[in-house]
Amino acid sequence: MPELPEVETVCRGLAQSLLGAKIFSAEAFAPKLRIEIPQNLNSKLKNKIINSINRKAKYILIDLEDVVIIAHLGMSGRMTIQEQESFVRKKHDHIVIELKLKNGEEKYLVLNDPRRFGIFTLSSVEDIAKHKLFSKLGLEPFSEEFSWQALKKICEKRTKNIKATIMDSSLIVGVGNIYACECLFRAGIHPERAAESLTVKEIKKLYGEIIKTLKEAIAAGGSTLKDYSKANGESGYFQFNFKVYGKEAQPCPTCGAKILRIVQNNRSTFYCNKCQS
């Protein structure tokens, strides 16, 4: 599932090619993904110019002057730029937008989503700030509001385990299962600890590791950007250098003990029982 760094990478990749592009046509091939796709998409998007592309939590916002496309990749979604000559609509290509780039090239922007947990909807510019999709979102990790003090406040009196706490998007947005495992390993904190049991020192360490890990992952994603507009779009995702995630029974990179896997809140957690306490 794409997490914050992947979505940031997708946004940067799209922005690199699409700023200033003009939409010729837009077509939806499914009535809904997780929520309904607006009807008459073509009349709503035709002739619009792409002003900016930004990430909000794990949403991709494509600003078209008076209207904004809100897209979410869900569990399995991909948004890719494809060549018009070689394009054949594939299974699960639910949205196809025909564009003319600033340099005159004509491309397709395609949203493919096999599991249909993604979102493609529209909002007016005025309504975007108070859009209902964003009403329950917690703190953005890179915002000024998110600090170690804010994380301390989140953890106070919270009996839930620390992993589920940092993954809760109503508290902090964008830390999914993969990066939650990595941040806790780097901070030396056992994933089953109750959030309220963390000391100030541990909270400061965890805060620092959340920021650092997400930044490193975005930087790793950035290195794939030059290939981003390739037809298959695979390079929109990347392999971050994981220390524990997906490494059950392999040696811990710090102490050599076997990395363990447990299931918490229906998600796999990977950790080192020796390094994390």
Question: Can you give the binding site for Zn ion, defined by CB under 5 A?
Answer: 252, 254-255, 257, 272, 274-275
Cα–Cα dist 116/30, whole Å: 10
Cβ 252 to Zn ion shortest distance, Å = 3
Q: Looking at beta carbons only, is 31 or 256 nearer to Zn ion?
A: 256
Non-local (6+) Cβ contacts of 217 within 8 A are 3, 4, 5, 6, 179, 240
CB-based closest residue to Zn ion: 252
Cα–Cα dist 57/71, whole Å: 11
Cα–Cα dist 264/184, whole Å: 14
Q: Looking at beta carbons only, is 114 or 188 nearer to Zn ion?
A: 188
The three-point CA angle 18-23-28 to 5° equals 105
Which residue has tokens 């949403």? 59
Best CA proximity match to 69, nearest among 82, 83, 56: 56
Q: What are phi and psi of 52, to 5 degrees?
A: -160, 160
Cβ 256 to Zn ion shortest distance, Å = 7
Cβ 274 to Zn ion shortest distance, Å = 4
Cα–Cα dist 100/272, whole Å: 50
Cβ 260 to Zn ion shortest distance, Å = 10
Cα–Cα dist 218/200, whole Å: 27
- Across the beta sheet with 59-64, the strand order is 52-56, 59-64, 67-72, 119-124
66 torsion bin: left (phi>0), alpha (psi -120 to 50), beta (else): alpha
Q: Looking at beta carbons only, is 80 or 269 nearer to Zn ion?
A: 269
**E strand or H helix at 267, and its extent?**
strand 267-271
Cβ 253 to Zn ion shortest distance, Å = 8
Cβ 157 to Zn ion shortest distance, Å = 30
CB burial readout 118-128, b (16+ within 10 A) else e: bbbbbbeeeeb
Q: Which of 48, 55, 56, 58 is catalytic?
A: 58
5 noted as active-site residue = no
Q: Looking at beta carbons only, is 231 or 255 nearer to Zn ion?
A: 255
Q: Looking at beta carbons only, is 73 or 272 nearer to Zn ion?
A: 272
267 noted as active-site residue = yes
2 noted as active-site residue = yes
Q: Looking at beta carbons only, is 158 or 190 nearer to Zn ion?
A: 190
Q: Which of 2, 5, 141, 191 is catalytic?
A: 2
Q: Which of 3, 8, 98, 182 is catalytic?
A: 3
Q: Which residues are catalytic?
A: 2-3, 58, 267
